[in-house]
Chain A
Amino acid sequence: MKQGPVHQGRLKSPFFSRLEKLDFVNEWHEWKGYSSADQLYCSDTEYFAIRNATAVFDLTPMTKYRITGPDALDYLNRLVTRDMAKVRPGRVAYAVWCDDNGQVIDDGTIFHLREGEYRLCSQERHSAWLQAAAIGFDVTITHETEDVAALAVQGPTSYSVLSKLNLDGLGELKPFGLMHCDFQGTELMVSRTGFTGDLGYELWIDPDKAEALWDALFEAGELHGIRAIGTTALDMARIEAGYLAAYEEFLPADETVRTGVSRSPLELGLDWLVDFKKPNFNGRRALAEEKRKGSVWRLVKLDIEGNKEAHHSYIFSNAKASGSNIGFVTSAVWSPVCKQNIALGTVKTPHGKPGDTVWVEIYYQREMHWNRKMAKATVVDKPFWFPPRRGATPPGPY
C-alpha cells in the first residue's frame, strides 16, 4: 500500500481559492481532513441549481484509491458483492463491500479506468480494510485522494455547460461511463456519475489544473445558471434520489461497537448488488445464510403526509403508536422538486414492504413549544426523483 504524507491541520482542496470567493456565509465542516462547505450562500438556492441548472460540488475530499496489478480484478471481486468481471474498462460500478459477517463497511463507486486499472471512491477511508484484503493478492493500492482534484457537475444544463469545453465523446458518454480527454494539455477524466440522481458528470484532474478547470467551467456555465454548492443541498438531492449515506443509513461495520447496529446489503435494499453466482466474496456465507433465514431490517423510502420533516422519527405500524416502534427514520427532507415530504428509514421485517402504510412520529417546535404528530406514510419502491434526462444519451441541451 502506498500512502502519502500525513498532514496536520485542516486541508484545503485545490478549489478552495475559488470556493472562498463565492462563499458568503462561512459555514464549513470537516470532511476527512478537508474543509468542505455546508453552503456557500443559501442551501435552498444551491439545491435549485442542482435541479434546474448546473451545480458544482467539490468532490476532492472523497476518498480515492487506485488499485492496480495482475490480481486487481480478483481482488475487487472478492472485496465487493457484485461481479466486477462484468465492469469493462471505461465503465463505473456502484458497489458495496462487507466484512466477513456480511455487514456493510461502506458503499462507493469503482471506476475501471483502463484495462486492469481501477479507482475506488467512497465517503470514508478504508486503508486498513483494503490492505487486509490485499493479503495474498498481487495488487498495489495507492491512496490518491490528494493526487486527484474532483468536481461534481450536476443538473439539467450540465451537458450543455461541458459541451462548451469541447470534450471529445461527451455526447456519447452513457450513464456510468467514463472517458479520458484533453483539457489544456492535461488529461481530464470525465465520468457520467453523481450523487444527485439527475443528469450529471464528475470531473477528475491533476490538482495543478484544478483552478484552470474551475475557471473554464464557470465561464462556460455563465449563461446556464452554474452555481457552486455545499453539502446541505447535495444531501437533499441524494435523499430524493434514494441514495445511501454512511453514518446515516448505515454505520460502517468496522466502526461499530455493539452487535446488531450494522446493516447487510440485503437490509439496505441492495440485493441487486449481491451476486451469489460469484463463488466467493467477503460476506458471502453470512449473506447466503441471511437470505435463507430472512433479514432483520429493511430500508424503506417513505412518502409522508403533511410537510413536517420527519427527522429521526420513530416509525410505528399503527397510528396510535401502540406496541413498540418498528424502526426509525435515517434521513428526511421536504423535497421541493417532488413537493413531497420524504424520508429514508430502517424498519424491522416483515414491515415495510412497498405499498405498506406505516406511521411516523414527528416532533416539531413552534415558538419554543413542542408538538407531536403521527403522520401516515407510504412505503414506496422507486426513487422519489428519477428524471428521464438522467439516462438519455446524448443528453438534450437545456
Chain B
Amino acid sequence: MTDKYDAIVVGAGHNGLVCSALLAKAGMNVLVLEANAQVGGAAVTREFTEGYSTSACAHLLYQLQPEVRKELKLSPQLATEDMSTIALAESGQHLRITADSVEGVSDEDAEQYRRFRKRMTRFADLLRTYLNKRPPRLGTKNFKDMLTLAQLGFDIRRLGKEEMQEFLRLIGMNMHDEVTERFESPLLKGAISLDSVLGTHLGPRSPNTIMTYLYRQAGDHGRVAVPQGGMGSVSEELAHAARGAGATIRTSMPVKRIVIDNGRVTGVETEGGEVFSSYTVISNADPKRTVMELVGAKHVETGFGRRIHHLRARGNAAKLHLALDGLPTIEGLNKKDFGERIVIAGDEHYVERAFNPAKYGECSSEPVVEMTFPSFRDESLAPTGKHVMSAVVQYAPYNLKAGWDDAAREAFKQTVIKTIAKYAPDIEQRISASELLTPADIEREFHITGGHWHHAELTLDQFLFVRPVNGAAQYALPVDGLFLCGAGAHPGGGVSGAAGRNAARTILRREKAA
C-alpha cells in the first residue's frame, strides 16, 4: 500500500522546509522525508562532544529573506545580531569592521571603505531583488521571462550611467584587484578577500569573486547574526511552521530513489523500501545527487546529464568545533569581542596563498579562519563557564590528492589549531574536545555531493539563468513533476530560504495554471 501526497519534498534542509511550509500553507498535502534524524540539513545544531553543542555546518545567519520570515511568520531568536568582524593581527592591532565602517585603519582607508560599502550595498540590493525571483530563461518568448529580463536591464540602467558601468565592470571581476586598487591596510584587504571566497572553491584572484561577495552581502545588507540555540533553532522553527501548515515531516527516512514512470515522477522510494506516491516531487538534495543518483541518468537526456555531471561542486571549506574550558586569550581583544565574528586573513595574499595548494588537491598550510564563540552569548551550548568555538576553515579541498582519512583530517585539524594559536597562544590548553568536518565528512553527514555549501560552485557560469545548469534554471527539472528547491538552484546557498520559496512559488503557479 502506498500513501498519496500532493507533493513530496526530499530532504528537510532549510530550503526543503521553507518550500514544504509554503506548499502546505497553500493547501497542498505535503510529505517531507529527511535522511537524518534531525531536520535542517546543513542548518542544524548538534552535540559534538558531551555537553557541548554548536551549529554543525552553517553557523552564521545573514541571508534569511524577509519575504520568507514574513510569509511563514518567523521570528528567529538571535543570540547576537549585527555582528562586527574583527580581523586579527599578530601584532594585536586588530581591525574592527562593520557594515559601513572600519576602525584601526588610516582615515583614507576608512573613507574608501565607506564608499566601497555604499557601492556594494547598492549593487547587493539590486541583486537581492533577483534572489527572490524565478530567474528568466533566455531566448524564449515567455512573457514573464521577458519582463524579468527587461526589469533586470532596467534596474541596472537605473543605477545611473557611472554606476551601471561600475556594476558591469565589477560583476565578473576578482576581489583582489578591487581591494588592492582601493585600500592600503593589508588586514582590511584580507578580511574583504575572505568574505568574497567563503564557502567556495575560489581565491580572491579568481574571477567573479566580487559577485560572490555581493551574493553574501545581498542577503541582509551584510548584517550577520547568530541564532539562539545554534542554526538548528531556525530549522526547528521552519519545521514547526511547516507542520503547523499541515505538512508531514518524517526523519530518518533516507530516500533511495525518485520513482519515474513513463517519463514522469510518481513518487519516491525510501531505503527501507517504503513507497510514497505523488505526481510532484521536490528535491532539496543537490542537483548531482538528485539527477544522477535519485533519478538516474537513464531518465534524463544525454546533454542534460552531461551538464549536471560537469557541474562544479567541490567543497573547500572545513568546519572546526572546539570544546573549550574557557575563552582563550587573544592579545588586544576585549572579552566582549568574543561575541563578534573573528577572522584570520592576514592580507589579501594570505588568502590567495591559502588557496594555492587547494588547486592541486592539498590543504592550506596556513588556512583562512572565520571563528565564532557562540556560547559567549548563548549558555545553552556549553556547560557554565565553558565555551564552544565554531569556525569555518579554508582551504580543505574535497578532492584531497592523498584522500581524506583519519590521519589527514587530524593533520589538518592540528594545522588549523596551530594557526589559531598564533593569535591565541593558550588555545591548545583550553581544548577539551574537538571535531573537524572536512568536505568529505560534510558530504557524508549532510548528503551534499562534494560537501559544497552552495551545492554547486557560485560562479557566473552557474548563476542566475544557468543555475545549476541550462535546462533546469527554473526549478523544474526535465522530468515531469520533478523540481529542485535547494542551494543548487537559483540563487544559491546560505540560510536564506530563497530557493525553497522560489521553488514553492513556481510549483504553485503551475498548479494554478493546470
Residues in A lying within 8 Å of B, measured CB to CB: 71, 74-75, 77-79, 99-100, 129, 132-133, 135-137, 279-285
Contacts and interface: CB of A to CB of B under 8 A. Distances in A.
Contact of B302 (A71, A77, A79, A279): A79
B301 A137 contact: no
B299 interface: yes
28 contacts: A75-B298, A78-B298, A78-B302, A99-B302, A100-B301, A100-B303, A100-B304, A100-B471, A129-B302, A132-B305, A132-B306, A133-B302, A135-B292, A135-B305, A135-B309, A136-B297, A136-B305, A137-B297, A137-B298, A279-B262, A280-B298, A280-B300, A280-B301, A281-B301, A282-B301, A282-B302, A284-B301, A285-B301
B301 A74 contact: no
Nearest to A277: B262
A136 B478 contact: no
Contact of A135 (B262, B297, B299): B297
A100 B260 CA distance: 19
Contacts of B27: none
B478 A285 contact: yes
A284 B302 CA distance: 11
A79 B306 CA distance: 13
Interface string B226-268: 0000000000000000000000000000000000111100000
B261 A279 contact: yes
> 9 tightest A-B contacts by CB?
A136-B297, A100-B303, A133-B302, A132-B306, A279-B263, A100-B301, A279-B262, A135-B309, A282-B301
B interface SS class? helix
B66 interface: no
Interface in B279-327: 292, 296-306, 309
Contacts of A77: 298
Nearest to B305: A135
Interface in B468-507: 471, 478
A136 B301 contact: no
A284 B300 CA distance: 10
A222 to B, nearest CB: 48
Contacts of A137: 297-298
A279 B260 contact: yes
Contact of A132 (B261, B262, B299, B302): B302
Q: Among B297, B299, B302, which residue has the most Cβ atoms of chain A within 10 A?
A: B302
A283 B306 CA distance: 14
A136 B307 CA distance: 12
B421 to A, nearest CB: 45
Given A135-B309, A284-B301, 11 more contacts: A78-B302, A100-B301, A100-B302, A100-B471, A132-B303, A135-B302, A136-B298, A137-B298, A279-B260, A280-B263, A283-B301
Given A99-B303, A132-B306, A135-B309, A284 B263 contact: yes
Interface of B: 260-263, 292, 296-306, 309, 471, 478
A291 B124 CA distance: 45
A25 B262 CA distance: 56
Contacts of B261: 279
Contacts of A136: 292, 296-298, 305, 309
A77 B260 CA distance: 16
A102 to B, nearest CB: 9
Contacts of A283: 301
A129 B306 CA distance: 10
A100 B306 CA distance: 11
Contact of A280 (B292, B299, B309): B299
Nearest to A132: B306
B298 to A, nearest CB: 5
B183 to A, nearest CB: 45
Nearest to B261: A279
Contacts of A281: 301
A133 B300 CA distance: 10
A100 B469 CA distance: 14
Nearest to B262: A279
Contacts of B297: 78, 135-137
B137 to A, nearest CB: 15
A75 B302 CA distance: 10
Nearest to B291: A136
Q: Among A71, A77, A282, A283, which residue has the most Cβ atoms of chain B within 10 A?
A: A282
A282 B303 contact: yes
A77 B302 CA distance: 12
Contacts of A279: 260-263, 299
A130 to B, nearest CB: 9
Contacts of A78: 297-298, 301-302
Nearest to A276: B263
Contacts of B263: 279-280, 284
Contacts of B303: 99-100, 132, 282
A136 B471 CA distance: 19
A239 B304 CA distance: 35
Nearest to B470: A100
B134 to A, nearest CB: 20
Nearest to A102: B301
Nearest to A99: B303
Contacts of A75: 298
B427 to A, nearest CB: 46
A129 B292 CA distance: 18
A133 B471 CA distance: 17
B441 to A, nearest CB: 25
Nearest to A79: B302
Given A78-B298, A284-B263, A135 B478 contact: no
Contacts of B305: 132-133, 135-136
A374 to B, nearest CB: 38
A83 B306 CA distance: 22
Contacts of B309: 135-136
A129 B299 CA distance: 17
Contacts of A135: 292, 297, 302, 305-306, 309
A231 to B, nearest CB: 31
A281 B263 CA distance: 10
A246 B286 CA distance: 39
A135 B304 CA distance: 11
A74 B302 CA distance: 13
Contacts of B298: 71, 74-75, 77-78, 136-137, 280
A292 to B, nearest CB: 15
A279 B299 CA distance: 8
Contacts of A129: 302
Contacts of B299: 279-280
A282 to B, nearest CB: 5
A380 B441 CA distance: 66
A135 B307 CA distance: 10
